[in-house]
Amino acid sequence: MHEMSIAMAVVDQVVQAVPEGADRVESVLLQVGELAGVVPDSLHFCFELACSGTVLEGAELITEPVPAQARCGACGTGWAVGMPPELTCPGCGDGAATELLTGRELQIRSVRWADRPAYADQEG
């Protein structure tokens, strides 16, 4: 199951980032692009299993969906990609110069430790 390996990787990354004195994680906010190939319900189930016996046991996984957006390098038109992905420019019909801007994300945006301020990444 793809989602189990993702859940285990998230847990591993959070465990490696445990600040001194922290003993429990309350929540993890994970951005998930709509083209990342992740089934949110399966990911939540796997996350709960992967957290067992760690400082994340009982933590809430919050998934933030990221819509897929593209831009045409030829004419500059931007559009929502949708499902199934349409990567041909609706403005000029070019597909060769299409740049996928968002929708592939799969990243931890923040971790909330019990009795500590949230840690959030410094990007974006």
pLDDT tens readout for residues 64-88: 999 999 999 999 999 999 888 888 9
Which pLDDT band holds residue 118 (cuts at 50, 70, 90)? low
d(CA 112, CA 55): 12
51 is in an annotated binding site: no
What per-residue confidence (pLDDT) applies to 60? 97
46 is in an annotated binding site: no
Within 10 angstroms of residue 89's Cβ, the number of other Cβ atoms is 22
75 is in an annotated binding site: yes
φ, ψ for residue 114 (rounded to 5)? -60, 130
What per-residue confidence (pLDDT) applies to 95? 83
> 3-13, pLDDT tens digit by residue?
999 999 999 99
Q: How far is CA 84 from the centre of its chain?
A: 19
**Overall pTM surpassing 0.85 (yes/no):** no
